[in-house]
Amino acid sequence: MSTPTILEKIKSYKLDEIEAAKAETPLEEMEDRARAAPAVRPFKDALLQASINGYGLIAEIKKASPSKGLIREDFDPAALAAAYAEGGAACLSVLTDTPSFQGAKEFLVEARAACDLPVLRKDFMYDTYQVAEARSLGADCILIIMASVTDAEAAALEKAATDWGMDAIIEVHNAEELKRAEALASPLIGINNRDLNTFETSLDTSRKLARYVPEDRIIICESGLETPEDLADIARYGARCFLIGETLMRAEDVASATRRILANPLTAGGM
Ligand SMILES: O=C(O)c1ccccc1NCC(=O)[C@H](O)[C@H](O)COP(=O)(O)O
């Protein structure tokens, strides 16, 4: 038997978590909670309207990761959310997975309450129950990772998000996943520069894939972005939206680091 990949390991414990959550909070009750949640903040609109150098930034609240271990010790989701808003982020992404990212559902609630930005629930989604759960926490957008779901699962998750009034980012890493993503309706296509199984991260993934994304979709370049020059370079390939975690999470002054990465490298002199 071959060793399970990281995505297979994550899927295995997620399915257990989902069953446990359903036993604790049945779907009907979760849906009641979702209906009682704060109104949706339009995620896509915020991303497109935010225009610092024409960029829309999704700033990620990420304590740890499978590839890097602990990223940030001094970790206060509310303070980080406020710093990101002050620095010019358009939206937030909050990791809610605990075993691999030391995230928590409460982090999303705390971060969203500390600012006016729409929030992506960054987690591994397999079941529409998780979409209702995301909405119950206040999430405004979910992530659908094509590498970890079937076409039918992706369509069901996307429909659930739409039914709850939320947006969905469809994440791809290669041409085959992009083709499958095009069959979905969501205009938000996240190109993840990180191979989620090998952790190899290269901006070449965005450079190569961006040209194949249909013009009516919005490209979000994800992972491995470190400098204003990176953003300017990737913008030449047609991506104006960026999802950044580690670089900002490692900064002492998160608001300043956010402002700096969004600055025009020709006038700002880099990070
Ligand atoms: O970050 C990881 O190590 C990782 C491993 C396995 C699955 C997903 C993983 N990360 C999720 C992400 O895609 C990133 O958190 C996000 O794009 C931000 O990336 P970065 O700016 O490089 O922190």
Predicted confidence at residue 266, as pLDDT, reads: 66
Predicted confidence at residue 265, as pLDDT, reads: 76
Question: What is the residue-averaged pLDDT of the chain?
Answer: 96
Structure tokens at 1: 């038997």
Top mutation candidate among 14, 58, 63, 65 for ligand 1, by most atoms within 8 Å of CB: 65
For residue 227, the one-letter residue type is T
Taking Cα atoms as reference points, which of 240, 229, 225 lies closest to residue 48?
Answer: 240
Rounded-to-integer distance, Cα 249 and Cα 232, Å? 21
Predicted confidence at residue 271, as pLDDT, reads: 41
Predicted confidence at residue 267, as pLDDT, reads: 63
Single pTM value for the model: 0.96
What confidence tens digit (pLDDT) does each residue in 107-166 have?
Answer: 999 999 999 999 999 999 999 999 999 999 999 999 999 999 999 999 999 999 999 999
The Cα-based distances of 34 to 10, 31, 73, 122, 251 in angstroms read 25, 5, 32, 17, 34
Q: What is the ipTM of this complex?
A: 0.98
Enumerate residue ranges in the chain where pLDDT < 70. 1, 51, 266-271
Q: What is the CATH number of domain 6-268?
A: 3.20.20.70
244 CB near ligand 1 (under 6 Å): yes
User: What number does the ligand 1 atom closest to the CA of 197 have?
Assistant: 6
Q: Does residue 179 contact residue 170 with C-beta atoms inside 8 Å? A: no
187 CB near ligand 1 (under 6 Å): no
Ligand 1 centroid distance, CA of 122 (Å): 10
224 CB near ligand 1 (under 6 Å): yes
Ligand 1 centroid distance, CA of 223 (Å): 6
